[in-house]
Amino acid sequence: MIEPARSHESSRFPIGMFRLGILAMIALMLASITLTWRVGDNIRDEMRAQIDVITAAEKVDHYGTVLEMSMKAVVTNGDSEAAARYRTIQPVLRETLSSLRRDLQSGQNEAAIATVDEADLKLIAMEYQALDLASKGKLPSAQKLIRSSRYDYLNNVYYEGIRAIEKHAARFVKSTRSRLNFYLWTIISLSGMSLALIVVGWFAFVGPVRRWGKEIEIARTAAESSAVKLEENQLELQKLNQRLFRQARVDPLTGLATRLSLNEDAPKWLLTDISPHQYCAAMCDIDFFKQFNDSRGHLAGDQALQLVAEAIRGSLAEGDTAYRLGGEEFLIVMKAASIRAAAVRADKMRLAIAELGIAHSESPLGNVTVSVGVSVLDRAGGMSIERWIRQADEALYEAKNGGRNRVVMSAAGKAGPASVTSIRAAASI
């Protein structure tokens, strides 16, 4: 049975929205990865620059102090080690100033470094002159040069420039930290957006997915149930077809084959192998059966037909087939050595039916009897099935006209000159 369709449509899964959500999540993920990577690079660069600036500023301050103390030791005591230390550290200070100039890339930083650099060069000239004087033993002249107002002025300009550079370096460090904080907050914002998208995706997609999954499960269960029902219906239909096939080929009352089965079996009798036997048709009809039905009723008539069919079935040899053609008429196809051998077997069948002793008050013979006509299939002569059955039917009419309860052979299968041969038991029934 086919169930009626549902009146409401099943909710559809939002595949378009789901695809957009997936694409948005992928895009956000790629953007987060890319920005995180770039932010990481910027953080590393800023931290490196910050460390370089702080280190360079501290070195400049430190080297300046060392040089000042070394110079004082030279001009005061003529210390040769201090003079050597001065000559060693001075180039390092110059290199440090160059590095600091590269790290601090603003106009103000450039001006401050330029001022320090200019003061440092002038101080270097005066200090190297003092070193030469001290090396020649002219310490008073060297002290006078180092303690001059110009030297003090240049020294003050140098240290004020250093302090300005340190302030610029501090501001640079502060701005670097601000940028680092911005980068960190950017990463935190991206992480928050990803989390928010996951939460939105949970409510926007997981709910429909679950509902869709339940609908799929319901549809699968319904499909399995339909498949089971369909299989049951197919089995039932197969059984019904088999029953119809059998009913069409087997007579339900007598259990004998039907006329349809006769039509299906007929071709093989013409195309069978060349064996010594012959196919003979015995057309059988119950005598005065209409009168039996009229006097005893159709129920008794059906019972008589069943008994006659059982007697016919009991008289069949291997390879024989019995058909009920309709009403009280039967056809038995026999394999026999000759038509006479088939007629003898048909007469034994006639006797078996007579010996059933089914009372028939309307028959002159007193019991239910049969008349039989026998014909042989002339395959070599090209005889058709229709002609063969018609000859048996003609022989049956001869048996009826000859007094019934007898077997008559068709003239086409008889060796003698007579048109019909009658075989009948001597004793009356």
* Residue position matching structure tokens 């450039």: 110
Query: Under 8 Å CB-to-CB from 381, ≥6 apart: which residues?
Result: none
367 exposure class (CB count in 10 Å sphere: 0-12, 13-18, 19+): middle
Sheet with 329-336, strands from edge to edge, namely: 321-326, 329-336, 278-286, 370-376, 407-409, 421-423
**Residues tagged active-site:** 328
Contact 89, 67 (CB under 8 A): yes
Tokens of 17: 């929205």
Chain CA centroid to CA 343, Å:
70
Distances, alpha carbon 234 to alpha carbons 138, 228, 230, 241, 245, in Å: 128, 10, 6, 10, 16
Say if CB 360 and CB 366 are below 8 A apart.
Answer: yes
- With b for 16 or more beta-carbon neighbours within 10 A and e for fewer, the 67-91 pattern comes to bbebbebbbeebbeebbebbeebbe
- Phi then psi for 26, rounded to 5 degrees? -65, -45
272 phi and psi angles, rounded to 5 deg? -70, 170
CA separation for the pair 274, 310 (Å, rounded) = 31
Which amino acid type is present at position 197?
Answer: L
Distance between terminal CA atoms of the chain?
A: 59
Report the alpha-carbon distance of residue 356 to residue 115 in Å, rounded: 149
